[in-house]
Chains A and B, each alone.
Chain A
Amino acid sequence: MTGMDSSAAAPSDPREPRGADPRTDPAGTGDPAPGAQGTPAHPHRSGRPGEPLVVLEGVQKHFGDLHVLRDIDLTVGAGEVVVVIGPSGSGKSTLCRAINRLETIESGTITVDGRPLPAEGKALAALRADVGMVFQSFNLFAHKTILDNVTLGPIKVRGVGKTEARERAMALLDRVGVAHQASKYPAQLSGGQQQRVAIARSLAMDPKVMLFDEPTSALDPEMINEVLDVMTSLADSGMTMIVVTHEMGFARRAADRVVFMADGQIVEQAAPEEFFTHPRSERARDFLGKILTH
């Protein structure tokens, strides 16, 4: 597995021009490392490669007495793939959901592509259209066919024509390998297929960034890889991704940076290899000791 990352140095690799090198930017302030830019546009419309796309500063959130997000600072550059890991209850989902305001925050700021998160209304809807979200439980619209699940957003939100939306959706479904199921209903598909449709549904909106909240943890083991494969190829195509997952293989293979959270704080962040082989904090060593022995 470790061999995968060596290719990242190859100049032709689309991931090469990613943002701030996390190794030189452990605080995650996101200042792009000089000279990190270069190679031309990739297929996704995130800001210029390397520029900060999602920026969280001083984010605080409580659930009652529980302090779930403590002063979170995080910068994700355009084209970057960030994996968030940490023990259960550490606030990973809350962090992920805060970025498209499925959870509100009490203080601090979140900006996406330079614009602060709108608080409500059409502006919020427009922002969410630009931020894809993939849920642990898929959440496909149960009363709509697979095809309609994917075309609903483009037609209603982006105003794309029906025929065009359909063609686009079929292409995306083909890309995630479920085109032949297009006329079925979600309940007729396996979990892995549903999750791939959910990814296609998000992609249909041409998002600037995609959020994944434990996309494979509701899946049977034999279906995990088919979803991870789709996510890996998405990462390779230059999509900006924030992925909450415990799939270490995926983190090693596809992530530029691993963010480790515990008790609502970002305890440490580093490149995957470095994090897994030399975790700096006691909490991270402890956590890795528990999950890696499994």
Chain B
Amino acid sequence: MGEVFANYDVFGAFFMTIRLAVLSAIGSLLLGTVLAVFRMSPVGLVRGIGAAYVNVVRNTPLTLITVFTMLGAHSNLGIRVADPASPTSVVDTAFRWGVIALTVYHAAFVCEALRSGVNTVPVGQAEAARSIGLTFAQNLRHVILPQAFRGAIVPLGNTLIALTKNTTVVAVIGVAEIAYLTAEVMENDPGLIVWLFLVVALGFVVLTLPVGLATTHFGRKLAVAR
């Protein structure tokens, strides 16, 4: 195992994975929330746009979206996300497109996780809130969202875990994270395969296990008894 660490920048690769995961988690939470609001809107057209986004994106492979950002948006359409004159332009471009691809893809799943949280709230809760004179905003703030959020903890946690593992996909556009490192090690030292597997497996267990444990714990602890 020492050889893997000695000859390759394992920590650097994992740090890149974490950076990708954190940034795209924030991004997809924001975009996913907007989409969830769209999908629950009373206006048919708005709902339609939300539904179309979710159904298109979650049925498209993440690899395709990632390849599209680089070959399509960057090369063909000439959309720039980093200053071409900067010395780190190549690395920045790949990283930023990676975050964008991950965000776009996972927002669809965040949207569905939030929606499933709202769906755990019985209609009667909203009606009771209306009946005592709460306004729409008060109803959301004090009755619906607190319950919906608790119902969304576990699906959101699952989405975060999947996102963390999915960061590997952006190796396809040259972001130097774990999958990129894996290919590099295997090309040079295929003999390290078992050690490499253990390092990667342990690394991802360390990254995702706490998320899983925490969401299960809080999902249960905060669960609304009905």
Contact = CB atoms under 8 A, between A and B. Distances in A.
Interface of A: 100, 102, 121-122, 125-133, 135, 137-143, 152-153, 156-157, 185-188, 198, 201-202, 205
Give the contact-size bracket for chain B.
Answer: 20 to 34
Contacts of B147: 142-143
A131 B130 CA distance: 11
Interface string B144-185: 001100100000000000000000000000000000000000
B127 A135 contact: yes
B131 interface: yes
B142 interface: yes
A157 B127 contact: no
A141 B129 contact: yes
Contacts of B129: 141
A102 B127 contact: yes
B133 to A, nearest CB: 3
Contact of B224 (A121, A130, A142, A156): A142
A100 B143 contact: no
Given A142-B125, A143-B147, A143-B150, A132 B131 contact: yes
Given A122-B135, A157-B133, A141 B225 contact: no
Contacts of A137: 124
B225 A187 contact: yes
Chain B CB within 10 Å — which of A125, A127, A188 has the most? A125
A29 to B, nearest CB: 28
Given A102-B127, A137-B124, A205 B132 contact: yes
Contacts of B127: 102, 133, 135, 139
Contacts of B150: 143
